[in-house]
Homo-oligomer: A and B are copies of this chain.
Amino acid sequence: MTAHGTVPVTIRAMESSNSPGGAGGGRREATRQKLYEAAVTLIAEQGFSATTVDEIAERAGVAKGTVYYNFASKSVLFEELLRHGVGLLTASLRDAAERTAEAGGSKVDSLDAMVRAGLVFIDRYPSFTQLYVAELWRTNRAWQSTLMVVRQEAVAVVEGVLREGVEADELSEEIDIGLTASALVGMVLVAALDWQAFQPERSLDDVHAALSRLLQGRVSGKP
């Protein structure tokens, strides 16, 4: 499940052939990808309900019937989109933590690497992130449970590193792991979305530096 490298993985990376013996990507999978991409942008901009299937089909350059040939319904298309996207994020976070550990870094280094991995992800898939945040705390929606499961998966990765940090006496044992993980995720999420929305010209390194500082408590006092 671990993705390969920090090399920006495109959506296409999760591609898999649908025919058991077939080797190539397959025409069908390509169509699905086009639909994912079209849907993610439109839904991020307008929201799920305000986005019509006709729009999605048009943006994907595909007939409406094709949407229904490939997905049972509009919500199913959306749910698969969510699962797919969060899968990528989780893999990327886990990978960042593992690589740091293998390179002999501390747990704080791991956290820092995960912050960066988060930023890279958001930079690459801003629409997905937007859409995810917009839907995460909604209740009474069809895909609510999907979202919960998938969220927990991602947060658990951060919690894991925090826990190891405490066990290794590297982090204060008084920290609240769950809350701190949430707060860290929120810090990265909101800062990155603001960055994308209001200062897209700034570099990722810049943003990373600012968050690193906050993470490592180098905000108060002089350097």
Q: Interface 1/0s, chain A 175-203, versus B by CB < 8 A?
A: 11011101111111111011111010000
CB atoms of B45 and A140 under 8 A apart? yes
If A45-B140, A216-B220, A220-B216 touch, whether A190 touches B186 (CB-CB below 8 Å) is: yes
| Interface check A1, CB cutoff 8 A | no
If A216-B217, A217-B218 touch, whether A140 touches B46 (CB-CB below 8 Å) is: yes
CB atoms of A214 and B180 under 8 A apart? yes
Count identical subunits in the complex. Answer: 2
Bound-state Cα–Cα, A223 to B171, Å: 9
Which of B49, B140, B194, B220 meets A182, CB within 8 Å?
A: B194
Q: Which residue on B lies nearest to A209, using beta carbons?
A: B176
Q: How far is the CB of A145 from chain B (nearest CB, A)?
A: 13
Residues of B within 8 A of A176 (CB): 206, 209-210
Bound-state Cα–Cα, A209 to B175, Å: 9
CB atoms of B190 and A183 under 8 A apart? yes
Residues of B within 8 A of A211 (CB): 179, 183
CB atoms of B222 and A172 under 8 A apart? yes
| Interface check A30, CB cutoff 8 A | no
Bound-state Cα–Cα, A211 to B180, Å: 7
Bound-state Cα–Cα, A44 to B138, Å: 6
If A130-B138, A194-B182 touch, whether A219 touches B172 (CB-CB below 8 Å) is: yes
CB atoms of B180 and A210 under 8 A apart? yes
Q: Which residue on B lies nearest to A134, using beta carbons?
A: B134
| Interface check A58, CB cutoff 8 A | no
| Interface check A57, CB cutoff 8 A | no
Residues of B within 8 A of A191 (CB): 179, 182-183, 186
The 9 closest A-B pairs by CB, nearest first: A217-B217, A186-B190, A49-B49, A179-B210, A182-B194, A183-B191, A49-B50, A176-B210, A187-B187
Known: A133-B134, A176-B206, A180-B213. 11 other contacts (CB 8 A): A44-B139, A47-B47, A47-B134, A134-B135, A171-B221, A172-B222, A175-B213, A178-B199, A183-B191, A186-B190, A186-B191
